Structure 1
């Protein structure tokens, strides 16, 4: 674009020079007009291209003006010098305007550079401020959870012993009342509710422990075997709700060895959540696939799914949409998976429900260690 503009200015200079040549010398008014028009390309060139551009156009204008000066050489010294002075004015205008334009351009570039630095500094400051606020909020939440975890663990220990006594007494009463006795059903409900409460207490105790303090399983199992076992365990529940329950590509995880007890707990939690979420005649699918050094187990359903605003909350402790849920199942599952160097994610399934993806590392020892826990 700049070359095009400079070319147009050159054409203007050449054109004015030709007008001087082909216009008769006695038409003074026209020659005076041409002289004044010559300042425009010089001034524009100086503004756009600085001193260099202005001087170039001024010199070219002067060269184009020479044939016109020759016409006045015979008119006397005064007329000749007047025309020569015009050339000096061309050069002076080019230098003055070019100097001012160059200085203004340097100042503008300096301010633009300063503005860009300020913008980057502001963006960095804004980012660091957001990070600081986020870290502060996480620290507050961590402190609250730490206090809550300690309190919950203390209460859980205190509750667990009386629960054992209550369950033992209830089982004695259950034996004393035959199945056809009207009170048998009530005692049975008491035993079931004690078991449910005991499970909730165990979840609180498990969540309050650090992953590396969890008991180690001596035996390892194939991940595909664990998936198949949990699948069979939950088949009865899915049949009652007439759920289309499918297991696909499980052999892809056959050579991945895991802590069978812990991963059974994780998968069972995923499946029970899915069974609770789907309606009668719904769909649930467990699939396994290999991705580089990972075995990825997905549990998908066609239930109502999870809102986008809840995607990051579902793994938070004590967060639950169930009326009687503790909100610890997914938190504990995530803690177990990450403790073994894996990842637990949630996304929308292809049916619009929820899809939990468990990433199990195949290249790392699948057991808890302080180094793995600190790196997660």
Structure 2
């Protein structure tokens, strides 16, 4: 009970005891029934006081009830010692009732406080146990990922050797074709694309190995305008886009040509994200690519009208080996995030204006280097 309520209750009990004393005083002595009723009513404030206030409350109200009982005793003074002592014994019962009930109530209050303290300690122990369990589960999950990454690193070393040898052969064949097809030939552009993609694939293999070994990428690739990079990726994915009749809309800010980025790194990132978008949308779907500047940063946003990503699963998307595709490896977006962070940027997922998912890449503004190699479209 709150302190204010305890004070109010005690005052009400005092009023009740005083009222009983007044009734004893104004009721004639021959009305024994009324006096017996008042006498029994005195046990109520004593009992209530003992229950709510413990020993001191029971004894205090017992003493006050005894004082209120004095007018009743004076009425029996003239009836002789036998009648007087019979009424006087009621005082002893008042004191005994207040003492016994007060002791019981005080003991229960102490037990209640003890159990309350014990309950709070148990609640604290449960919370600590819950927190420790959560940390253990997180550590176990990280350990599992570390073990898988370690295994992947070992497998990747052998796969890299197997992939690089065919790439070298394909690159040699492309060089031969480039010598035989002059630059003015309509198909010379496709040979250049082949040579460029072979080189990028070779860099991608190195990036995967770097990620699996936990190393940071040291060298900085060539720069290009983000518009050129986006157009290049869309051209490379043209077959998949046509197969599902997907409409691609590219929107840019007026100062788009001042936005440059690491060419090979961003091609790999955008390839991973747009491939996911192509798989997410249905036939005749839509993919919106926006890019521009916001303050001192640059952004690229890829939105689609697919089924989207559940907000409860967004945090898991960038975890290694987490995939929602039947044949996915769960590494594409992890590597993309790693690449973006190595460029000093961030990547996040939100619901797109088209109803699907929206991947937003934010990069710090870069100074244009090797400006002569950047072709503005």
2:146 and 2:314 mapped to 1: Cα distance? 19
Matches within 5 A, 1:109-188: 109-166=113-170, 168-169=172-173
1:307 and 1:251 mapped to 2: Cα distance? 34
1:173 and 1:264 mapped to 2: Cα distance? 25
Shift of 1:96: 2.5
Among 38, 44, 51, the residue aligned to 1:47: 51
Equivalent in the alignment of 1:271: 274
State the secondary structure of the residue aligned to 1:303: coil
Closer, same or farther in 2 for the Cα pair 1:234/1:87, shift >3 Å?
A: same
Closer, same or farther in 2 for the Cα pair 1:346/1:138, shift >3 Å?
A: same
Closer, same or farther in 2 for the Cα pair 1:129/1:250, shift >3 Å?
A: farther
Q: For 1:130-184, what per-residue CA distance to the aligned partner results, in whole angstroms no more than 9, with x for missing partners?
A: 311221232122112211222123222233113322553587689999xxxxxxx
Is the 2:250–2:290 Cα contact (8 Å) retained in structure 1? Answer: yes
Closer, same or farther in 2 for the Cα pair 1:67/1:169, shift >3 Å?
A: same
Shift of 1:340: 4.1
Among 343, 346, 349, the residue aligned to 2:346: 343
Closer, same or farther in 2 for the Cα pair 1:149/1:235, shift >3 Å?
A: closer
Matches within 5 A, 1:21-60: 21-60=25-64
State the secondary structure of the residue aligned to 2:317: coil
Closer, same or farther in 2 for the Cα pair 1:80/1:288, shift >3 Å?
A: farther
Which 10-residue stretch deviates more, 203-212 or 108-117?
203-212
Equivalent in the alignment of 1:182: none
Q: For 1:3-39, what per-residue CA distance to the aligned partner results, in whole angstroms no more than 9, with x for missing partners?
A: 4443443343233223323322112233123212211
Which 10-residue stretch deviates more, 147-156 or 77-86?
77-86
Is the 2:76–2:84 Cα contact (8 Å) retained in structure 1? Answer: yes
Is the 1:41–1:57 Cα contact (8 Å) retained in structure 2? Answer: yes
Shift of 1:112: 0.8
Closer, same or farther in 2 for the Cα pair 1:161/1:357, shift >3 Å?
A: same
Matches within 5 A, 1:1-376: 1-166=5-170, 168-169=172-173, 203-210=204-211, 212-217=215-220, 226-234=225-233, 241=245, 243=247, 245-249=249-253, 259=262, 261-278=264-281, 279-280=283-284, 282-287=286-291, 290=294, 297-307=300-310, 310-317=313-320, 327-360=330-363
State the secondary structure of the residue aligned to 1:357: strand
2:135 and 2:179 mapped to 1: Cα distance? 61
Gaps of 5+ in 2: 182-189, 368-377
Equivalent in the alignment of 1:369: none
Shift of 1:92: 3.0
Gaps of 5+ in 1: 178-188, 366-376
Is the 1:298–1:356 Cα contact (8 Å) retained in structure 2? Answer: yes
What root-mean-square deviation, in Å, do the aligned CA atoms of Structure 1 and Structure 2 show?
Answer: 4.2
Closer, same or farther in 2 for the Cα pair 1:118/1:175, shift >3 Å?
A: same
Equivalent in the alignment of 1:373: none
Task: Please report the TM-score for the alignment, with normalisation by the length of structure 2.
Answer: 0.74
State the secondary structure of the residue aligned to 2:141: helix
Task: Please report the TM-score for the alignment, with normalisation by the length of structure 1.
Answer: 0.75
